[in-house]
Amino acid sequence: MFNKKYFILLLFTIFSFSQNSITGKVISNNESLAFATVYLIELSKGVTTQENGQYNFENIPNGKYTLQFSFTGLKTVKKTITIFNQNELIVNCELDEIDTLDEVVLTGTLKAVSRLESPVPVEVYSAVFLKKNPTSNLFEALQNVNGVRPQLNCNICNTGDIHINGLEGPYTMVTIDGMPIVSGLSTVYGLSGIPNSLIDRIEIVKGPASSLYGSEAVGGLINIITKRPETAPMFFADVFSTSWLENNIDIGAKYRIVKNINSLLGINYFNYNNLIDNNHDNFTDVTLQDRISVFNKFSIDRKNGKELSFAGRFFYEDRWGGELQWNKNFRGGDEIYGESIYTTRYEALGKYQLPVSENMFASFSYTNHDQKSVYGNVLFLAQQEIAFGQLTWDKTIGKHDFLLGTAFRYQYYNDNTTATIEPEKTKISSLFIQDEIKFTEAQSVLLGSRLDYNSIHGLIYTPRIAYKWKPTKNDIFRINAGTGFRVVNLFTEEHAALTGSRDVIITENLNPETSYNVNLNYLKKFQFDNGTHTVLEFSSWYTHFENQILPDYDTNPNQIIYTNLNGYSKTYGLTGNVEFIFPFGLKSMVGFTVLDSKIKRDGILSTPILTEKYSATWGISYDIPKWFLSIDYTGNLYGPMRLPLLGNLDPRREYSPIWSIQNIQFTYKKLNQFEFYGGIKNLLNWTPNKNNPFIIARANDPFDKEVVFDTNGNATATPNNPYALTFDPSYVYGPNQGIRGFFGVRFRLD
C-alpha cells in the first residue's frame, strides 16, 4: 500500500510537470506574417514569428492557457488551449485587418462604445498612423489629419497651436486620457513635449464638446490615449535623426513594483543644435531645442477587477531662435535679438473606479507649468497651476443610457505683464448630464446639458443634442448641435502679443466668448467580394460666434487691438475622408476640407488671417512581404490664406500661395524585433520664403533703432526703411524647413 501511494504521487508529478511544445504559423491575407507577436498570457512568455510566419514555445507545463496573437495594424486574436503530455501542439492563426469602425472610442460621450455606434462622430488615429511620418512630437504628427492643421505662430521661436476646421488653436481642447492637461500656457509650448512613442491612439471630435468637457472644447477635442502597462511591450526604443541633425530618442519599458502593480516608463529626449539660415536673413530658420520628457504610468490590479491607474510626467525644454550670433550672454538685452524660452512642467492624472455596484469613476489631473522667457528685451515670466477633479456615474435604465457627472477646476495664473495686476485665481464648479435614448436599433437621440459656475463670470449653460440614424449596418447619419463658451487667457494664447514691436491694446474687460454649432455627418462602409474594404465619411458644419475676442491687425499696423467683437464671426464648410484597404497590401486614405470664414466687425465684413480656403491630406501605404518592406507616402496641401501685413507699403504677399508638404518613408522589417526606416521629408523643398522678398520684417533692425515714427506712433518711409516697416516675425503660415532626409531604428521586446 505504501509503494502504491508513492507510485501514484510519482505519476502525478510527472504528468503535472511534463514539458510540452506549442508551435504554429501566423498568416494574414493568405501570406506568412513575419514579426507578429505571440504571447502566452498565464506564463508571461512571448515570442516573435520568423520570416515564414512560424513560432515556437518550448518546455510548457501541462495546463490551460491563453495564446494572444497580435501585429500592429491587425486585429488581436486570443485562443484558449489545453495541453497535456503532448510533444507538440500545433496552433495556427490568421490575423485580419482592423476595421476602424469597430474600434471602441471614449471621447465623444465619455463612454466606451464602438465608433460606428457613437452618436457623436469620432475619428481614430492609431500608433500605426503616427509611424507613417515619424516626428518627435504630437504637434508635427497631426499635420496629415484632415481638417486639422498645426499652425506656426512665430518665425523665430517656432511655437504654434492646432486649428480644427479653420478655428484658431485656443478653440481646440487637448486632453490626455480624457483629462484636461493641455491648456493655457501649454497650448503654446506643451504640445511639443508629448512623445509619440507613448501614444496608443488619438481620438478627434470636430465640433463643440463643451457640454461634457467645458471651456476650450469649442472648436473640437483631441484626446491622446496613452498605452496601457498591461499590453505594452517589455521594452521598446525608437531612435531617429535627420540630415538637419535633429535627434530624437524614445525609450520605454514596463516593470512591476509589486505583484499587482504594472508600470510603464517612457523617456523622450530631443535635441536640435544646428544653426541653419537658408533664407539668408541672419535669423535661425528653425528654433534650436533641448528637450526631455519623462512619463510613468501605473495600473493597479484590484481584487474586484475594477480600474485604478495613475500617471505622472515631467517635461523640461530650453529653446531659442534669433540672430545667428546670439548666445545666452545676450539674453534680455537689446544688442543681438533672440527669443529664449525655458519651460518646466509637471503633470499628474489618475482614474479610480469606485468599489460599488454602480459604474462610477473618480478622475483627477494636476499641472504645474513654469515659463521663463525673453523676446528680445521683453521679459515674460509666467506660472500656471490647474487642478481638476471629476466624478461620473454611468447608468442604464430601459431605453435611457445616462451619464451624470460633477467636476471642479481650480486655475492659478500669474505673469509679469501689465494685463495681470495680481495673480488670477479661477474656480469652476460644474454639473452635467447626458441621456442617450435608444428608440429603435436604428435610431437614437443624445441630450446633454452642462451648468458651470465660474468664480469670475458667473453661471454658464451649455446644452447639446445629437441624433443618429443607422438605416443599414453599413450606413449611418448623424446630426449634432450645441453651444460652447470660452474664457480667454490673452498672453498665454496670443503669442503675437509678446513678440515683435507691435503695441498691445486692450480696450475693455474681455468677457467670455459664446458659440453655436451644427454638424451633419454621413458614413458609408463597403465590403467587396475581392476583399477590398472602403469607408466614405462626409461632414458639413456651421459655427457662429458672438462676443468673440480676435486680434485686430488691420486698424493700426503698429498695434494689435483686443476687444470683444462688435458683431459676429462664422465659419462653415464641408469635409470628407475616403479610405481604401486592398487585399494585396495597398492602403490609402485621402481627405479634403473646403471652408469659408468671415468676421463682421462694426458692420464691415472681412476674412480672418491665417485661415485657409481649402486643404487636402493623403496617406498611401504599400506592404511588400517578400521583401520585408513597407512604403508610406504622406502629404498635405493648403489653399491661400490671408497673411498679417504691416501696411500698404509692405511688399510681402497678402495671400499665401497654394503649398504642399510631402514625405516618403521606407521601412525594412526582416530582422527579428528590429525595424529600420528612412526617407525624405518635404520632397518638394517648399518653404514660405519662395516668391517673397523676405519673411521677417526688418530682420536687419530687430529693435527698431533706425525706424522713424510720426507723431501718431506710426512708422514712416525713409531711405533706410522704404516700406515703413517695424520688426515683425508673425508673418508665418508654414514651416521653414526645406527638404531633408531621415533614418531611424525601432526595437521591440515583448
Where do the domains of the chain lie? 2-94, 100-225, 226-749
The pLDDT, as a whole number, for residue 211 is: 65
Ranges 131-140, 328-337, 542-551, 677-686: which has the least confidence: 542-551
Ranges 423-432, 547-556, 617-626: which has the least confidence: 547-556
The pLDDT, as a whole number, for residue 527 is: 81
Ranges 19-33, 231-245, 529-543: which has the least confidence: 19-33
The pLDDT, as a whole number, for residue 410 is: 93
d(CA 322, CA 320): 7
d(CA 349, CA 75): 29
Name the grid cell of 516.
453655436
d(CA 603, CA 454): 31
What is the pLDDT averaged over residues 606-634? 91
List the CATH code of the domain at 226-749.
2.40.170.20
Tell me if 273 sits within 8 A of 290, measured CB to CB: yes
Residue 693: pLDDT band (50, 70, 90) is: very high
CATH topology of domain 100-225: Ferric Hydroxamate Uptake Protein; Chain A, domain 1 (2.170.130)
Other beta carbons less than 10 A from residue 483's beta carbon: 19
Tell me if 185 sits within 8 A of 384, measured CB to CB: yes
What is the pLDDT averaged over residues 70-74? 69
What is the pLDDT averaged over residues 140-166? 85
Name the grid cell of 726.
517695424
SS3 category, 415: strand
d(CA 348, CA 50): 41
Q: Which residues of 456-471 are buried (b: 16+ CB within 10 A; e: fewer)?
A: eeeebebebbbebbbe
SS3 category, 473: coil
SS (H, E, C) 520-589: EEEEEEEECCCCCEEEEEEEEEEEEEECCEEEECCCCCCEEEEEECCEEEEEEEEEEEEEEECCCCEEEE
Of the candidates 153, 278, 282, 279, the one whose C-alpha atom is nearest the C-alpha of residue 699 is 282
d(CA 38, CA 582): 25
The pLDDT, as a whole number, for residue 45 is: 79
pLDDT of 16 higher than 60:
no
Of the candidates 213, 134, 188, the one whose C-alpha atom is nearest the C-alpha of residue 345 is 188
Other beta carbons less than 10 A from residue 59's beta carbon: 9
The pLDDT, as a whole number, for residue 321 is: 95
What is the pLDDT averaged over residues 64-91? 83
Which residues, in sequence order, are CB contacts of 564 under 8 Å at separation 6+?
Answer: 508, 510, 511, 547, 548, 549
Tell me how far CA of residue 571 lies from CA of 154, 452, 483, 613, in angstroms: 24, 26, 14, 11
Which residues, in sequence order, are CB contacts of 213 under 8 Å at separation 6+?
Answer: 173, 175, 180, 221
Of the candidates 632, 610, 646, 661, the one whose C-alpha atom is nearest the C-alpha of residue 729 is 646
Share of the chain above pLDDT 70, in %: 87
Which residues, in sequence order, are CB contacts of 149 under 8 Å at separation 6+?
Answer: 143, 162, 163, 612, 615, 638
Which residues, in sequence order, are CB contacts of 711 under 8 Å at separation 6+?
Answer: none
- Residue 246 sits at φ, ψ, to 5 deg, of -85, 125
Beta bridge partners of 303: none
Per-residue DSSP letters for 627-689?
Answer: GTEEEEEEEEEE---B---SSTT--S-SB---EEEEEEEEEE--STTEEEEEEEESTT---TT
CA dihedral 346, 127, 178, 235 (to 10 degrees): -50
CA angle 273, 278, 283 (to 5 degrees): 65
Other beta carbons less than 10 A from residue 701's beta carbon: 17
What is the pLDDT averaged over residues 583-597? 90
100-225 shares its CATH topology with 226-749? no
The pLDDT, as a whole number, for residue 12 is: 46
d(CA 343, CA 729): 21
Residue 559: pLDDT band (50, 70, 90) is: low
Ranges 17-21, 356-360, 742-746: which has the least confidence: 17-21
Ranges 133-147, 612-626, 654-668, 696-710: which has the least confidence: 133-147
Ranges 365-369, 477-481, 530-534: which has the least confidence: 530-534
d(CA 170, CA 561): 18
Name the grid cell of 241.
535623426
What is the pLDDT averaged over residues 547-576? 76
What is the pLDDT averaged over residues 148-161? 83
Report the chain's mean pLDDT, rounded to a whole number.
85
Per-residue DSSP letters for 9-41?
Answer: HHHHHHHHT--EEEEEEEEETTEE-TT-EEEET
pLDDT of 467 higher than 80:
yes
**Helix residue ranges per DSSP H, 112-241:** 127-131, 138-141, 185-189, 210-213
Helices (H) and strands (E) in the chain, counts: 6, 44
Other beta carbons less than 10 A from residue 705's beta carbon: 8
The pLDDT, as a whole number, for residue 11 is: 47
d(CA 701, CA 634): 39
- Residue 524 sits at φ, ψ, to 5 deg, of -135, 130
**Helix residue ranges per DSSP H, 445-541:** 490-493
SS (H, E, C) 577-621: EEEEECCCCEEEEEEEEEEEEEEEECCEEECCCCCCCEEEEEEEE
Ranges 325-334, 544-553, 620-629: which has the least confidence: 544-553
Tell me if 499 sits within 8 A of 490, measured CB to CB: no
Which residues, in sequence order, are CB contacts of 419 under 8 Å at separation 6+?
Answer: 490, 491, 506
- Identity of the residue numbered 675: E
d(CA 21, CA 65): 13
The pLDDT, as a whole number, for residue 420 is: 73
The pLDDT, as a whole number, for residue 572 is: 92
The pLDDT, as a whole number, for residue 748 is: 87
pLDDT per residue over 488-526, tens digit each? 665 555 554 555 445 666 666 667 778 888 999 999 988
What is the pLDDT averaged over residues 397-406? 93
The pLDDT, as a whole number, for residue 290 is: 95
Q: Most confidently modeled of 165-174, 361-370, 528-537, 565-574?
A: 361-370
In terms of C-beta density within 10 A (0-12 exposed, 13-18 middle, 19 or more buried), how is residue 628 classed? middle
The pLDDT, as a whole number, for residue 15 is: 45
Tell me if 156 sits within 8 A of 321, measured CB to CB: yes
Query: At the fourth CATH level, which superfamily is domain 2-94?
Result: Immunoglobulins (2.60.40.10)
What is the pLDDT averaged over residues 141-151? 87
The pLDDT, as a whole number, for residue 743 is: 97
Residue 72: pLDDT band (50, 70, 90) is: low
Of the candidates 196, 199, 176, 174, the one whose C-alpha atom is nearest the C-alpha of residue 185 is 174
Of the candidates 377, 660, 633, 634, the one whose C-alpha atom is nearest the C-alpha of residue 498 is 377
What is the pLDDT averaged over residues 519-539? 88
SS3 category, 444: strand
Ranges 86-90, 211-215, 535-539: which has the least confidence: 211-215
pLDDT per residue over 211-245, tens digit each? 677 666 777 888 888 888 877 888 999 999 999 99
d(CA 435, CA 483): 17
